[in-house]
Amino acid sequence: MAKIIGGITTSHVPAIGRAIAKGLQQDPYWKPFFDGFRPIHQWLAEARPDVVVLIYNDHGLNFFLDKMPTFSVGAASEYRNADEGWGIPTLPAFQGDAALSWQLIESLVEQEFDLTTCQEMKVDHAFTLPMALLWPDQKWPVRVIPVCINTVQDPLPSAKRCWKLGEAIGRAVAQWDIDDRVLVLGTGGLSHQLDGERAGFINKECDLRFMDSMVDDPQWATQFTTRELVEHTGTQGVELLMWLATRAALGEKVQALHRNYHIPISNTASGLMLLEPVA
């Protein structure tokens, strides 16, 4: 049977891609951010996942305002990204896992989630940059399954709904009859707002409380409406929905093996956590 071996949550701002391309990992501005991934690399080398279920939000590369599904799952054999206009290089293609993708899709639909199924799908920086942070050589040793959550256009799914999605993903993986080692990777945030009167808004206190809750009170953020989450974390800080779904997939109890928090990264509070399920 397949097994979820851990969850990683991290930020995905496009500036990370430019820093990687320019080799700025040891630059004083970037060093605290990139150094945070050293324990992650060691864990990945030991844990050796076979598949990554990557929960992220698309920023207009694959979906746009005319067609914005609430939840979508990739079912392709390969995923590529493209020039998004941020001035960051495109990355090598990612190998999909169509069989496990369909297992997820069929299980989620059975659990009453209405999905958009994508047999062709481009993946943007919210997908590619976290992968490059986990595997800096960009030689992907894993198969990937994209799971996309709408955080761009109203109506957004609630925190409670995203939690239930993560739980459903966990059940779907557990039902897979192949002995795959599965990593769940959730990307986004933390607090930030890129436009409007609160442009540059960061809420460190809320971010740290949320990171603590991922271990000791994982449904803490589900008490808030979408509007309340925006008030606490900024317009784009609502990307913590991907963190919630990731945490929910891991089961009832987890231990935090590593965490890092650093501000600012391109006017964004950058969070990083490595969580492992506890039987």
Active-site entry in 192, 232, 258, 262: 192
Cα 32 to Cα 24, 26, 96, 259: the distances in Å are 11, 9, 32, 12
Helical packing angle, 98-110 and 159-174, nearest 10°: 120
- Please identify, in words, the CATH class of the domain defined by 3-277: alpha beta
User: Taking 90 as the threshold, does the pLDDT of residue 196 lie above it?
Assistant: no
Give the pLDDT score at 235: 80
User: Taking 80 as the threshold, does the pLDDT of residue 194 lie above it?
Assistant: no
Lowest mean pLDDT: which of 40-49, 187-196, 222-231?
187-196
209, exposed or middle or buried, with CB in 10 Å at 0-12, 13-18, 19+? Answer: middle
The answer to whether 192 is a known catalytic residue is yes
pLDDT in tens, 166-177: 999 999 999 999
Q: What percent of the chain has pLDDT over 90?
A: 79
Mean pLDDT of 28-36: 95
Give the pLDDT score at 19: 94
Give the pLDDT score at 147: 98
Active-site entry in 59, 125, 232, 262: 125
Dmax of the chain from CA atoms?
Answer: 51
The answer to whether 41 is a known catalytic residue is no
pLDDT averaged over the chain? 94
Give the pLDDT score at 220: 97
Give the pLDDT score at 209: 97
pLDDT in tens, 221-270: 999 999 998 898 888 878 899 999 999 999 999 999 999 999 988 888 99
User: Taking 90 as the threshold, does the pLDDT of residue 134 lie above it?
Assistant: yes
* Dihedral of alpha carbons 225, 163, 64, 106, sign: negative
